[in-house]
Amino acid sequence: MSEYGSTPPPPPPGGGGYSAPPPMGGGPTGAAPPNNLVLAILGLLCCWPIGIPAVVFAAQVNGKWASGDHAGAVDASAKAKKFAIIALVLGIIATVLYIILMVAGVVSTNSTSTGM
């Protein structure tokens, strides 16, 4: 009454066994959305009050994608990009205004000092 001498049962139809693991980063499109972290850090350097939310949203993208919240990851990616672009534009505008004011101040100072 020992089963050691008997043949093993046949495998189940369809290949049986363990299935292949799901591909990494799988999902509706197969690739995670860009996290825009570099753009967010540049925005942080240009205009930090608006750059902070950009970095926060950029940091959330990969975690949300890995946990299966694909819609949340795409939304966080879009928000990170939006805040980073706004911060970059405001930083560039502030820098240009600063340069214009500095040049105007230097020109007015030079014109009054040479009149003596």
Give per-residue pLDDT as tens, 101-115: 998 887 776 655 555
pLDDT given at position 80: 97
Give pLDDT tens digits for 54-96: 999 999 999 999 999 999 999 999 999 999 999 999 999 999 9
Q: How many domains does the chain have?
A: 1
Alpha helices in the chain (DSSP H): 37-46, 48-66, 70-113
Q: Is residue 83 part of a domain?
A: yes
Give pLDDT tens digits for 18-67: 554 444 544 555 788 999 999 999 999 999 999 999 999 999 999 999 99
pTM: 0.66
Q: Is residue 26 part of a domain?
A: no
Q: Is residue 31 part of a domain?
A: no
Q: Is residue 41 part of a domain?
A: yes
pLDDT given at position 97: 94
Whether the Cβ atoms of residue 76 and residue 57 lie closer than 8 Å to each other: yes
Q: How confident is the model at residue 8 (pLDDT cuts 50, 70, 90)?
A: confident
pLDDT given at position 115: 53
pLDDT given at position 3: 63
Structural domain for 44, as ranges: 37-111
